[in-house]
Structure 1
Amino acid sequence: MSQEQRAGGLMAALRDAESESWSCRAAAGRQLAAIAGQEEVAPVLERLLLDLHDTGVTQETAEALLQRRDLVGLRTVLAALSRAEAWWTADQLDGEVFNHQSWMIADGRLDQFVQQLEALTADEDAGVRGEALRFLGRESIG
């Protein structure tokens, strides 16, 4: 895929993230999750994770981020979880991380998940730190 095609795909995903259609926003979340480390994508992913109109967008975006099995994906979900104002959004995100944790246990990769949470306890974002500590079963300090 050429640089031009990638840029066009990014622009289309960013446009779809603003769609009135929940399925377009969810598809954009899945597509943008693949490039979650890019600076211009972070605020769009957070908006999709905190979608107030449809938890399907939240679910699809969170699943795609957690399926990356990396620190960037987990951190993005925990950051949004720490900022969720609507109880149903917080509940959906919490459930996605819990389901991810259950999957990691079944797949024998719990150590990787715990290591990522441990790393996030030192994150610069207090919300991310607090969520990581909560999932580790510790109290948030500060």
Structure 2
Amino acid sequence: MEPLGDQELGTAIENADSLAWSVRGAAGRQLASSDKIEEVADVLHRLLLDARNTWVIQETAEALLERKDTIGLRYVLLAYSQAGTHDAVDHLGAALDCNPEWMTTEGADRLIKQYRELAADPDASVRDEAQQVLAKLRPREEWARDSTR
């Protein structure tokens, strides 16, 4: 996707407040792909915790994870740590757990590296979530050992 121009970015920010869930979800996807992601962090956070529709949460989280970078993962972990409803926790958790990157060695290695980086994040809630994920993972050596038995 091409970077958003200033006008497109402004429109996406406005659309994040739309009454229509489909417009908010599309705005979340656009903003998540922005090269100015840090400038729209508050808007993304609000969309990740959307109280009106879980599709907005899911769409925004998946778009952030599709970036395949640490900052996108960090924003999803931060929202997950602050989610106040069962639905938000469920959809954010599903986006994290079902991230297709887990299906390839290269993707899993990248995610583990990012989680390790986030395990030292200055924000305690991000750090705690990353540490919890890492604690659940088994080293590759253990998987290989178990498959030969």
- Quote the offset at 1:71 in angstroms: 0.2
The whole-number CA distance in structure 2 between the counterparts of 1:7 and 1:61 is 20
Is 1:107 the counterpart of 2:107? The answer is no
Measured in 2, the distance between the counterparts of 1:112 and 1:21 equals 35
Q: CA RMSD in A?
A: 1.6
- Choose 33-42 or 129-138, whichever is displaced more: 33-42
Identity of aligned residues (%): 44
Gaps of 5+ in 1: none
Contact 2:57 2:88 in 1 (8 A): yes
Task: Check the 8 A contact 1:118/1:132 in 2, yes or no.
Answer: yes
Task: Give the Cα–Cα distance (whole angstroms) in 1 for the partners of residues 14 and 36 of structure 2.
Answer: 19
Find the aligned partners of 1:63 and 1:54 in 2 and give their Cα distance. 15
Bigger Rg, which one: 2
1:53 is matched with: 52
C-alpha separation between the residues in 2 aligned to 1:105 and 1:72? Answer: 17
Q: TM-score, normalised by structure 1?
A: 0.88
- SS of aligned partner of 1:28: helix
- Give 1:37 deviation, angstroms: 5.1
| 2:130 alignment counterpart | 132
Contact persistence 1:48–1:57 (CA under 8 A): yes
Task: Please give the TM-score of this superposition, normalised by the length of structure 2.
Answer: 0.84
Which consecutive residues of structure 2, in runs of 5 or more, have no partner in the other structure?
Answer: 137-149
Equivalence for 1:119: 117
Aligned to 2:81: 82
Say if 2:15 and 2:27, in contact at 8 Å, map to a contact too: yes
Match of residue 12 from structure 1: 11
Q: Give the C-alpha shift of residue 62 in structure 1.
A: 0.3
Check whether the contact 2:31–2:37 (CA below 8 A) recurs between aligned residues. Answer: no
Count of residue pairs the alignment pairs up: 133
Structure (1 or 2) with the greater helix fraction: 2
- Equivalent residue of 1:136, what SS? helix
Contact kept in structure 1, 2:16 and 2:47, CA below 8 Å: yes
Aligned to 2:41: 42
